[in-house]
Homo-oligomer: A and B are copies of this chain.
């Protein structure tokens, strides 16, 4: 390590700070109501309480622009991670080919590998553009032609915050329909969209030919991660298979916790707008600080709370730099190699943090880049 420590309040950018952005209003009260309801709420169907599923289905239909069947087409899971695992494990068997985006959320690849599936990477050329996410659609088509029966992606993209354009989503839908593929789309961050972003929901763009499953949950924008809640909705046959698997994986999302979903897409007037405004402010300030570093490139995220800057050439391996950043500057980030093998010079920051602490921490990042600049 070069030089000494750089003083400042430690910031852990590996996940959002739910003390800076508090759980959405009424969540704890809803949980308390669930406990008071007693046995009926403790022992729900494996796919979740029927009344809660119905209420959430209506709101998700309004949000995504296509109907959701609360009885047969939606399952409540322990977090969106739970939904992702159940969806992939219900779809992918040993040797199956799965198209996944690079970069994308690391668990996508890890789950496919656990199931002994075979990943076919599809490149996302996300940098230096704003009108699209930059998916290599030719590569996606080639993956389908090579036998991929499943396409798995996050929109907004994790780690870059890129939102897929309406044209990209329509093209994905067209390819999926043509190849009768299953598409699992993780839309965890689709509520937190910034000025100018247009979010297109894949499920509103497809026919019955493709099997579509959409995954969402209140862990991020709503800061409800401590309750572990997610939902998956769409294909009824896939939801059926997921419920059978949930019965042996964890039985159900915690019964009392399910009550908290009553507050979701049901927050007080103006709450979401304000949360977006605050995050957009942090995003813009951090982008200014980051862009003052020579040779650092970063896409402005259209949605979500991730920044994925590519660092300039350094005198130490990037994984070492990530470690020094934590030890010398109190700044914890996620290394880019988690998201794609070719993203070794990038780092991911979840900027859902205390605004001022985040700015100071990113300044320390800039200082440390200068110290280790090649």
Question: Contacts A85-B250, A225-B42 known; A257 to B257 CB distance under 8 Å?
Answer: yes
Q: Determine which residue in A42, A94, A225, A247 has the highest number of CB atoms from chain B within 10 A of its CB, and name it.
A: A42
Residue in chain B with minimal CB distance to A112: B248
Residue in chain B with minimal CB distance to A40: B19
Contact A35 B42 (CB under 8 A): no
Question: Contacts A81-B250, A249-B85 known; A256 to B111 CB distance under 8 Å?
Answer: no
Contact B251 A81 (CB under 8 A): yes
Confirm or deny: A371 has a beta carbon within 8 angstroms of a beta carbon on chain B: no
Q: Scoring A residues 235 to 252 as 1 if CB is less than 8 Å from chain B, else 0, what string do you get? A: 000000000010111111
Contact A78 B254 (CB under 8 A): yes
> Which residues of chain B are near A43, meaning CB under 8 Å?
15, 18, 225-226
Residue in chain B with minimal CB distance to A246: B81
Task: Give complex CA distance A34, B28 in Å.
Answer: 11
Contact B78 A250 (CB under 8 A): yes
Residue in chain B with minimal CB distance to A93: B116
Question: Contacts A81-B250, A253-B228 known; A245 to B114 CB distance under 8 Å?
Answer: yes
The count of residues in chain A whose C-beta lies closer than 8 Å to any C-beta of chain B is 42
The one of B41, B110, B226, B252 in contact with A256, judged by C-beta atoms closer than 8 angstroms, is: B226
> Which residues of chain B are near A251, meaning CB under 8 Å?
79, 81, 228
Q: Which residues of chain A from 196 to 252 have a CB within 8 Å of any chain B CB?
A: 223, 225-228, 245, 247-252
Confirm or deny: A161 has a beta carbon within 8 angstroms of a beta carbon on chain B: no
Confirm or deny: A174 has a beta carbon within 8 angstroms of a beta carbon on chain B: no
The one of B35, B41, B111, B225 in contact with A248, judged by C-beta atoms closer than 8 angstroms, is: B111
> Which residues of chain B are near A252, meaning CB under 8 Å?
228
Q: Which residues of chain A from 58 to 87 have a CB within 8 Å of any chain B CB?
A: 78-79, 81-82, 85
Confirm or deny: A107 has a beta carbon within 8 angstroms of a beta carbon on chain B: yes
Q: Which residues of chain A from 10 to 30 have a CB within 8 Å of any chain B CB?
A: 15, 17-19, 23, 28
> Which residues of chain B are near A223, meaning CB under 8 Å?
42
Confirm or deny: A8 has a beta carbon within 8 angstroms of a beta carbon on chain B: no
Contact A249 B248 (CB under 8 A): no
Contact A82 B250 (CB under 8 A): yes
Contact A248 B19 (CB under 8 A): no
- Name A residues whose Cβ lies closer than 8 Å to a Cβ of B: 15, 17-19, 23, 28, 31-32, 34-35, 38-39, 41-43, 78-79, 81-82, 85, 94, 107, 110-111, 114, 223, 225-228, 245, 247-257
In the complex, besides A228-B251, A257-B257, 11 extra interface pairs with C-beta distance below 8 angstroms are A18-B39, A31-B35, A34-B226, A42-B223, A43-B226, A78-B254, A81-B248, A111-B248, A114-B245, A226-B254, A227-B254
Q: List 27 A-B contacts (CB under 8 A).
A: A15-B43, A17-B39, A18-B38, A18-B39, A18-B43, A28-B35, A34-B226, A41-B226, A42-B225, A43-B226, A78-B228, A81-B248, A81-B249, A81-B250, A81-B251, A82-B249, A82-B250, A110-B248, A114-B245, A228-B250, A228-B252, A228-B253, A228-B254, A249-B250, A250-B250, A254-B257, A257-B257
